[in-house]
Chains A and B, each alone.
Chain A
Amino acid sequence: MHRRTVLKATALSAAVGGSVGMNPGVGDNRCDCPAPQPEREPPAVYDDYETITVPDDHDTIQAAVDAAEARTLVLVKPGIYTEAVQVDTPRVTIRGLNRNTVILDGEFERTIGIVGLEDEVVVENMTARNYREHGFFWTGMEGYRGSYLTAYNNRMYGIYASGAVYGRFDNCYASGSDDAGFYIGHAVPCHAIMSDCVAEYNGLGFSGTNSGGRFTIKDCVFRYNKAGILPNTMASVEEPPQHKMRIENNEVYANNNTESPSRDYAFMAFGTGIMVAGGDENEILNNEVYDHVNFGITISLMRHRGWWLPRGNEIRNNEVRESKRADLALTMPNGGGNEFANNDHSSARPWGLSRGIPGAGLGDPWVTTVYLNQMAQVETDNYPEGDWRNAPHPDRKQSMPDVDAPPGEAVSR
């Protein structure tokens, strides 16, 4: 995404006062759908399917996938598989028999553990580590799911979906990625759920550029990253601005990790639990957010080929505490209509933000100043970051409860 270029453009434009308009292109790509999910039935299972076992039937996962037709379950026995798998057959499920001992290893040479390129590719119950880009990746499809996956020490993203709709990540773990542990982006309407996942020791716990519309992140834990959850707007990818994501019932804490791997982009949000960067109409509800050196929840402007001013975001019923600067924060300038209400907190920038004080909706330039300080460190290439190859290894994670279950569709529509 050429983020260094983006940042330089940002700093330069800020320095000269900016020459482009506010929220360019807004209105062109708006999703009419709401942020939350509709009630859905469980996804349908396949009545008849084939099973291919690795390494009994094929030595490698790639060979098994190449041999698979639609509605095939690829069962992988415990072992370390030093390969990069590309799935270009639809309706294939790849399932490890044990999450902790079925391991794809990139050995710091290969780029992606598994990449799904066709509809309804499901990956379950395994680990991917040491890839130069991503652990698990889905792109350009309709229907994807990652369940009971562990991704650690993969350089860019641990578990990643881009330009893909109707998806789900559940019971997954991601650590040691310098951009984000989890990423779901470039999709409107997104029709995606991320639930019961843990992200730690990453640049960002979650990042999602220009994603939204029936998109929910819930019941997850984000800790020990540079920053926790960061939906954001960029003009370089389709469908700006980011809008209509629901973030609810998550535990977000201690995202102040100077030792975690990081890209410049991630460091700019350092010390923040949840930040909406230039996004609109997001719903941040019932989260527990604590122990952040900057701000607990921030609604922030974003500069990328124009100023993206956040507007119409709803921040409600969150418990936010132990933030060193302020529990709740709103940058000045912003696009207006950002509603903070019924949040249990002790401090805010501006003062009175969640207490209905007139004028508080204008925001506080102090919040912008703090992030400008971090931007200055990024611009001079001098900010703390760890090595993604040496990030802490996770302990054993809970495996999928029923590895004998029949495969099925990724998610129901």
Chain B
Amino acid sequence: MIDQLQNTASRAGTRLREATDRILDRLRFDHQYSRGSWATVVVMTFLVSYYGAWVLADLGFRWTAFVALLGLNGYVFTRYPSSRAILARACYHGAVFTLLIPFVIWVVYLQSPSGLLRPFSLILTPGDVIFFFAFALVAGLLAGIGRVIGRKQTKA
């Protein structure tokens, strides 16, 4: 009985050590990163997170969003093996935030501050459609740039 418990504890300890090592490897960027890739992760994580927080600031949680996005973007970017792949991924993330801009602008109108404001008269107008497509175009360009960068990486 005691042996069984000791074995179980030993196996659990081994798994925990392995998991901790993996996380530490990731945090140390020891798994496969050159210095350049490491710098790309840091710079892109900061830029994309700041951009995302800037987009979401109207919703009232700019800095919370920034911290959360730092973690999220950093985690995702470190899954990619090279600077090119990280850049491509950063472009995709940037495109998503760009596409969000019109929606964030409209959502604020739904948080009506007074009885004289009819939010639905301010959104979903033909002008909003044009506005949305303008941002969709920019987002598409950004995603396209990401795709080109990603393809070059694949060919390389």
Which residues from chain A sit less than 8 Å from chain B, CB to CB?
Answer: 224, 254, 256-260, 270-271, 291-294, 322, 324-326, 347, 349, 351, 366, 369-370, 372-373, 375-380, 382-384
Contact = CB atoms under 8 A, between A and B. Distances in A.
B116 interface: yes
B113 interface: yes
A200 to B, nearest CB: 10
Given A259-B116, A384-B118, A351 B62 contact: yes
A378 B125 CA distance: 10
B116 A377 contact: no
Given A349-B57, A351-B57, A369-B101, 15 more contacts: A224-B116, A254-B113, A254-B116, A259-B118, A293-B111, A324-B108, A325-B108, A326-B57, A373-B105, A373-B127, A376-B128, A376-B131, A377-B127, A380-B130, A383-B127
Contacts of B109: 293
Contact of B128 (A322, A324, A366, A377): A377
B113 A382 contact: no
A322 B126 contact: no
B114 A373 contact: no
B127 A378 contact: yes
Given A376-B128, A380-B126, A256 B114 contact: yes
B126 A366 contact: no
A26 B101 CA distance: 34
A292 B109 CA distance: 10
Of A224, A258, A370, A375, the most chain B CB neighbours within 10 A belong to: A258
6 contacts: A256-B117, A351-B62, A366-B54, A375-B127, A376-B131, A379-B130
B135 to A, nearest CB: 9
B118 A258 contact: yes
Contact of B127 (A260, A322, A370, A382): A382
B127 A379 contact: yes
Given A349-B57, A369-B101, A370-B105, A376 B127 contact: yes
A351 B61 CA distance: 12
B122 A380 contact: no
Interface string B49-63: 000001001101010
Contacts of B112: 293
A163 to B, nearest CB: 34
Nearest to B131: A376
Contacts of A370: 105
A293 B117 contact: yes
B154 interface: no
B57 A292 contact: no
A260 B101 CA distance: 27
B121 interface: yes
A382 B126 contact: yes
A347 B61 CA distance: 11
Nearest to A365: B54
Nearest to B121: A384
B108 A293 contact: yes
B131 A256 contact: no
B89 to A, nearest CB: 24
Contacts of B122: 258, 270, 377, 383-384
Contacts of B108: 293-294, 324-325
Contacts of A351: 57, 62
Closest 3 CB pairs of A and B: A376-B127, A377-B127, A384-B121
Contacts of B146: none
A372 B131 contact: yes
B125 A254 contact: no
Contacts of B101: 369
A377 to B, nearest CB: 4
Nearest to B134: A376
Given A370-B105, A379-B127, A291 B113 contact: yes
A369 B105 contact: yes
Interface in B49-101: 54, 57-58, 60, 62, 101
Contacts of A291: 113-114
A379 B129 CA distance: 12
A293 B113 CA distance: 7
Given A324-B58, A324-B108, A373-B102, A258 B130 contact: no
B105 to A, nearest CB: 5
A377 B111 CA distance: 19
A366 B126 CA distance: 21
A302 to B, nearest CB: 20
Contacts of B128: 373, 376-377
A208 B111 CA distance: 31
A224 B113 CA distance: 12
Contacts of A254: 113-114, 116
